Amino acid sequence: MSVSDISNDNFTDNNVSGNVYCHLQLSRDYLQGQLPIPGDKSISHRAIMLAGIAHGVSHVENLLTSEDIFSTITAMQQLGATITESANGFTIRGCGALGLTAPDNVIDMGNSGTSVRLLMGLVAAHPIEAFFTGDESLRKRPMARITTPLAKGGVQTKLREDRYLPLHLKGGADNLPIQHESKVASAQIKSALLLYGLNVNGRTSVIEPTLSRNHTEIMLQSFGAEVSAVQLADGRFESAVQGVQELRATDIHVPGDISSAAFLIVAALIVPDSVLTLSHVGLNPTRTGLLEVLQKMGASIEIKHQRVMGGEQVGDIIVKHSALQAIDLGAEIAPRMIDEYPILAVAASFAKGVSVMRGLGELKVKESNRLQAIYDGLQAVGMACKIGDDWLEVTGSNGKTLRGLDKNAPAIKTHHDHRIAMSFLLMGLGCKAPVYIDDTASIATSFPNFFELLAQIGIVTGE
């Protein structure tokens, strides 16, 4: 694909088809192999945005080439950055501080919440107007969590029903710095405001109850910015920038996405005799909650070749099939594994005992209402489970094969949510009857070579 072709309209990937009613099966009795994990989605978004506003030319290696990332690339091109693809990765010529230009068309962010929320902050500090929209799922997700704090700095916005995309945003040159105390630990809120603060005179700060992923803070430092990140005396966390700061172009190597590795880790845990090595995976402690939880459940997970690249911890993960014990999780770990609950629910389904997961309120406003989608899917394959407003309880099978979908039952509804799709596809590997999902197209948003990697370790799509 040439760079001028980079857009979601012509994104075609042979590895992910939009075929409906897919299910998976083993091509041999166990999973085995060594796999490179595709680039981290959160870090890829940030690399494009920061390189896009830096002074000079940056090179980005191992950028995730998924639909969500193409949304960010296209948006940054619309805003004036020059982005080209070469054999070694992506080359980005940034616009320099306050250099973004007004887009002459609506910015369509597809399915990507991270793209739209971070860009709202970035654009808001520029004296330009922009219109943002997204797909059906993104147009249902809450956006006032970004526009409300931005309004404190003087940014003018108009959301549909005061909550949803489409959005009209009018940035300004004389905006004020913002001090925001967020009730939820959200890296998207924090990052949007830090990107805003970078281009506004004065100190912009965000306080959050628990530390959310800190890739923005780490990468801003790689681009030469000064960022402060501290734990306050009351236990909360504050990140802050002093504007205006110009970023200096730099080279970024994107580590593999632990949230994608999570699916393969759980697949190896539930299929007897499996051993997988997943290489070059990002191990930032704000993202490794699932590894710790699975280890507590009895999973054989070993980390090798640990190293630091561009401020991010990276390593290889070796995972072996294991008998799992149920786990009781409090809310405090949720921000460190927020995207991993669908696949953790699958692991818990094979564990011995009753697992409880709390503090899941944010799951209701992800690409789908994930709490409900997990519950509905588990019920459909015959699991005993319960949900409340922000918790999930799953009674595991103690390693026994699960029932799977009833013969005449409809396929699992994925609601165009990639993580629901991948979780239930893989759950089928431990079930007697096939587990069909209604659509695989969403997987291209985060894991474009999912089926190709599965084939390499012994998993194929069923008849």
100: amino acid identity, one letter: L
Dist CA 290 CA 447 (whole Å): 18
Q: How far is the CB of 216 from ligand S3P (least distance, A)?
A: 8
Strand, helix or coil for residue 99: coil
Nearer to ligand S3P, 186 or 397 (CB): 186
Tokens read off for 266? 């759980």
What do you get for the CA distance between the two ends of the chain, in Å? Answer: 31
Nearer to ligand S3P, 374 or 405 (CB): 374
β-partners of residue 168 are 131, 158
Nearer to ligand S3P, 23 or 419 (CB): 419
Q: How far is the CB of 353 from ligand S3P (least distance, A)?
A: 28
Contact indicator for 440, 23 with CB cutoff of 8 Å: no
| Catalytic residue from among 339, 376, 438, 439 | 339
**Residue position matching structure tokens 């799977």:** 404
Expressed in percent and rounded to 5, the helix, strand and coil fractions of the chain are: 35, 25, 40
Contact indicator for 190, 264 with CB cutoff of 8 Å: no
Residue 437's contacts (CB-CB under 8 Å, 6 or more residues apart) are 21, 22, 23, 411, 412, 414, 420, 421, 424, 425
Tokens read off for 357? 């997961």
Nearer to ligand S3P, 114 or 239 (CB): 114
**Residue 339 annotated as catalytic:** yes
Query: Concatenated DSSP letters for 383-403?
Result: -EEEE-SSEEEEE--TTPPB-
Nearer to ligand S3P, 69 or 381 (CB): 69
Q: How far is the CB of 67 from ligand S3P (least distance, A)?
A: 14
**Residue position matching structure tokens 């389904």:** 349
Dist CA 348 CA 290 (whole Å): 12
Q: How far is the CB of 298 from ligand S3P (least distance, A)?
A: 27
Nearer to ligand S3P, 65 or 212 (CB): 212
Strand, helix or coil for residue 231: strand
Q: How far is the CB of 419 from ligand S3P (least distance, A)?
A: 9
Binding site for ligand S3P (CB under 6 A): 42, 114, 186-188, 191, 212-213, 338-339, 362
Q: How far is the CB of 34 from ligand S3P (least distance, A)?
A: 26
The residues assigned a catalytic role are 339
